[in-house]
Amino acid sequence: MEGLLEVALKLVRDIMLPLRQVLEGALEPVLTAGDEAVGVGELAGVLAGDEAALELAGVLMTKSTIDPCDDLEVELIDSEEELIQKYGELVKVPYNLKKQSVHLWNKVIMLQQENSDFSIRTAEEVSFAANGITGTGMKAFDGVLQSNIMLKTLNLSGNPIVDEGVKCLCDILVNNNGIQKLQLNSTDLGDEGAENIADALKQNRTITTIDLGGNNIHAKGVTAIAEALKDNSVITFLELGYNPMGPDGVKALSEVLKFHGNIETVKLGWCQIGAKGAEFIADMLKYNTTIRVLDLRANGLRNEGASCLARSLKVVNEALSSLDLGFNEIRDDGAFAIAQALKANEDVTVTSLNLASNFLTKFGQSALTDARDHVYEMSEKEINIFF
């Protein structure tokens, strides 16, 4: 059995838990060790930003100098002072110990007691979200993550990595064969950063999920991402929400998704595409055979955009099952158009339609409810419609 102190050190140093997590602890579990999921919201780190990144990179490149202590007996502790008093000198963890260290120490002990086969080397998900990491911190991982094939999910959301950090990240992605899920929400990418990511995606063939939301990406950057998807059949989940791409950006994306790529989920909420952009999406849906989930919330579609999408719903589409049109200022006329489209298509595959937070009266809602009932009577297919 691996020494408990060795396990503690590796958890603290090798698996990146010493980094502060998403603010206010709103965090899903980010560490998976075999079948043992570790939620680290309570194990918030004691270092953050570039300092932590540099420290971590150094540890990843060299083995720990701490000798295993298989015969050492340890116990649960109650305070930071007790941890330092009992084990501080022996462990010599190069961090300023805080209360979170107590939680981490106790978690290590409990995991080791529950599962003697527990191995931190099987960790697949880590989060650096909202840690203040900049381009300097990203440079620390150059040459480190390229060869890591265990890491499947990398979350850098909320870090101002900007141009310098993005270029370093792209060099990593080109050579990394393990990362499957990349989260870069709100990292100040801009159009130039999006273009760099697009170039990396042309060569990377392991990433299946990518989140580029909230990065001030305009039509230019989205066009570059779209071009990268032409010959990429690996990516299935694309988040581009909260980027002001406008009609031109969604046009470029739609032209590619008509006949290329293998995208199953597209999130384009809050992208300022308007009714004109809805025309491009509607045309794309007539030909696309892979998109199952489409999020178009808060794009100012109004009745004109809803009517465009309704026309595409009349055409047989064997893939689309979820359509989110919430917050789009759609009124009864738009609802009537969608209701008629659902009735006209006997082979409709949509099972979830969200029209919440629009301007529908009881007449528009009634038309949609009637259409839902008609579809069920004719084909026994159920459509969940949300107002």
Sign of the alpha-carbon torsion through 95, 98, 102, 108: negative
Which of 254, 230, 240 lies closest to 184 in space, CA to CA? 240
Asked if residue 108 belongs to a domain, the reply is yes
Confidence of residue 263 (pLDDT cuts 50, 70, 90): very high
State how far the Cα of 288 lies from the Cα of 315, in Å rounded to an integer.
11
Asked if residue 344 belongs to a domain, the reply is no
Place of tokens 């209360």: 99
In this predicted structure, the answer to whether residue 79 has a pLDDT above a threshold of 60 is: no
Range of the domain at 83: 1-122
Asked if residue 277 belongs to a domain, the reply is no
Asked if residue 256 belongs to a domain, the reply is no
Asked if residue 81 belongs to a domain, the reply is yes
Mean pLDDT in residue range 80-84: 53
pLDDT, mean over the chain: 77
Mean pLDDT in residue range 194-220: 97
In this predicted structure, the answer to whether residue 131 has a pLDDT above a threshold of 80 is: no
Q: Which residue has the higher pLDDT, 138 or 199?
A: 199
Stretch among 40-44, 69-73, 276-280, 345-349 having the lowest mean pLDDT? 40-44
Asked if residue 364 belongs to a domain, the reply is no
- Residue 353: φ, ψ to 5°: -130, 115
- Residue 324: φ, ψ to 5°: -110, 115
Number of domains in the chain: 1
pLDDT at 210: 98
Asked if residue 56 belongs to a domain, the reply is yes
pLDDT at 127: 73
Which of 101, 15, 104 lies closest to 64 in space, CA to CA? 15
pLDDT at 85: 57
Asked if residue 167 belongs to a domain, the reply is no
Q: What is the pLDDT of residues 367-387, one digit of tens each?
A: 999 999 999 999 999 999 999
State how far the Cα of 208 lies from the Cα of 180, in Å rounded to an integer.
5
- Between strands 293-295 and 265-267, the pairing is parallel
Q: Which residue has the higher pLDDT, 47 or 319?
A: 319
Beta carbons within 10 angstroms of residue 77's beta carbon: 18
